[in-house]
Amino acid sequence: MKIILKIFLFLAIWGCKNASKEKPTISEKGKEVIIENAKGLSITQFDGFSLVKVETPWPESEKAFVYLLKEKGSEIPEGIEYDQSVEIPVDRIVVTSTTHIPALEALGQQKTLVGFPGLNYISSEKTRSLIEKDQISELGKNENINTEVLIELSPDVVVGFAINASNKSFETIQKTGIPVVYNGDWTEQTPLGKAEWIKFFGALYGKQKKAEEIFKNIKSEYLSAKEMARSAANRPKVIGGSMFNDQWYMPFGNSWQAQFIKDANADYLYADTEGDGSLSLSFESVLEKAENAEFWVSSGQFTSYQDLFNKSEHYKRFKAVKNKNVYSVSVSKGSTGGVLFYELGPQRPDIILKDLISIFHPELLNDHETVFYKPLD
């Protein structure tokens, strides 16, 4: 009996010790971060970790991605399904789109950036100063990243930008143990939806509250400007887009660009169209419909009226050209040629909207100096 009792006690103690070593299971309900405008992002916070879900990393994606962001030293419960795990706060990061740069700067984390594909595309003076000090490495082209250099940099995470599921560079990077997480800000269809993705970066840096405050201020400024525009006495007719290879690529009426024109209280002549990408139109059809439009905004790569006329003398037939009311985002560039609009614009829709209001309704914002939209020379 004594031997049996000793065996029983040993097994009980051994079982308790092993039970204490078992990982806890996820039981508590996480706290959902409020996402107001972004359709493809959700963040759930738990004790010691967060789960970030990216619904649409690229258009028509068949798979959503879940990322586990774990605080250093935290114990993660069993049974959690995720695609990549990242230890936070991040100390070293590689991003792959210029749209990611403003979020890093707004959070005060630009110094954590160690590599980027296509450094000349970056316009921000803050980040360019780091590039000039050789603190950020060139990684080649986004579609063919120099994986050898990237791996040597040993980042904590790579924030990927992809147009589809086929990206051999990212696959190679992940095989080395460096996590790649996709950012889907560019798939959002609304100005505020794109801007809200700063919360994605807030989660990576453990700065969720700061990210929420930044977005709150941007949204407040945007909605205030939109309300101001409603008081305008007139709604000018507007067109957008530009010619390329004998086709005029015009934003659809449900696009991000068209939403700005609508919110600036102007009449976009193609507002009743819907689709992905851009309308592909002949020059003649645009001339017939929009010859008398008062404004033409986002005129492609054109930076002067002479550029327009060198391409085609027929542009002179448009009222917007005759009255010098053509505005381009290609005029505002960084020191190495990067277009500021494509970098900062998605993060600061409030500035874009104020630019357009000051152009369409100068009486409402006569003291506003445009940041992105500039008149052709």
Q: Is residue 17 part of a domain?
A: no
Q: Is residue 329 part of a domain?
A: yes
Rounded CA-CA distance 58/243 in Å is 26
Those residues whose C-beta lies under 8 Å from the C-beta of residue 314, and which sit 6 or more positions away, are: 283, 287
Show which of 219, 242, 268 is a domain's final residue.
219
First and final CA of the chain: distance in angstroms? 101
What does the pLDDT average to over 87-93? 98
Same domain as 253, residue 198: no
What sign does the CA torsion over 360, 363, 369, 375 have? positive
What does the pLDDT average to over 271-285? 92
Rounded CA-CA distance 58/69 in Å is 21
What sign does the CA torsion over 255, 257, 261, 264 have? positive
Cβ–Cβ < 8 Å for 264, 238: no
Same domain as 121, residue 197: yes
Same domain as 322, residue 179: no
Give the three-state DSSP class for 177. Answer: coil
Q: Which amino acid is at 168?
A: K
What does the pLDDT average to over 245-268? 94
Q: How many CA atoms lie within 13 A of 230 on its CB side?
A: 6
DSSP H/E element including 42: strand 41-46
Show which of 167, 194, 219 is a domain's final residue.
219
Cβ–Cβ < 8 Å for 115, 94: yes
- Read off the pLDDT of residues 306-315 as tens digits, 9 standing for 90 and up: 988 988 888 9
Q: Is residue 22 part of a domain?
A: no
Task: For residue 302, name the pLDDT band (cuts at 50, 70, 90).
Answer: confident
Same domain as 190, residue 70: yes
Same domain as 212, residue 260: no
pLDDT beyond 80 at 304: yes
CATH code of residue 170: 3.40.50.1980
pLDDT beyond 70 at 170: yes
Those residues whose C-beta lies under 8 Å from the C-beta of residue 137, and which sit 6 or more positions away, are: 114, 115, 116, 149, 153
Task: For residue 162, name the pLDDT band (cuts at 50, 70, 90).
Answer: confident
Same domain as 118, residue 37: yes
What does the pLDDT average to over 37-45? 97
Q: Is residue 8 part of a domain?
A: no
Same domain as 182, residue 249: no
Q: Which amino acid is at 174?
A: Q
Show which of 192, 219, 246 is a domain's final residue.
219
Residue length, the chain? 377
What does the pLDDT average to over 5-12? 45
Same domain as 164, residue 60: yes
Rounded CA-CA distance 185/183 in Å is 6
Same domain as 207, residue 316: no
What does the pLDDT average to over 158-186? 92
Instruction: Give 106 or 161, the one with higher predicted confidence.
Output: 106
**Structural domain of 247:** 233-375
pLDDT beyond 70 at 217: yes
Same domain as 140, residue 77: yes
What does the pLDDT average to over 25-42? 86
Instruction: Write down the pLDDT at residue 26.
Output: 55
Q: Is residue 210 part of a domain?
A: yes
As for how many domains the chain has, the answer is 2
Which tokens hold the place of 135? 């603190």
Beta strands in 48-88 (DSSP E): 49-54, 65-71, 84-88
Q: Is residue 2 part of a domain?
A: no
Question: H-type helices in 61-175, by residue range?
Answer: 101-106, 125-132, 147-153, 168-175
Paired residues of 46 in beta bridges: 49
Q: Is residue 257 part of a domain?
A: yes
Q: Which of 217, 225, 202 is nearest to 368 (CA)?
A: 225
pLDDT beyond 50 at 19: no
Phi, psi dihedral angles at 93 (to 5 degrees):
-135, 150
Task: For residue 142, name the pLDDT band (cuts at 50, 70, 90).
Answer: confident
Q: pLDDT averaged over the chain?
A: 91
Same domain as 54, residue 186: yes
Q: What is the pTM of this model?
A: 0.90
Give the three-state DSSP class for 40. Answer: coil
Which tokens hold the place of 8? 């029983």
Cβ–Cβ < 8 Å for 96, 117: yes
Q: Is residue 23 part of a domain?
A: no
Same domain as 209, residue 238: no
Task: For residue 8, name the pLDDT band (cuts at 50, 70, 90).
Answer: very low
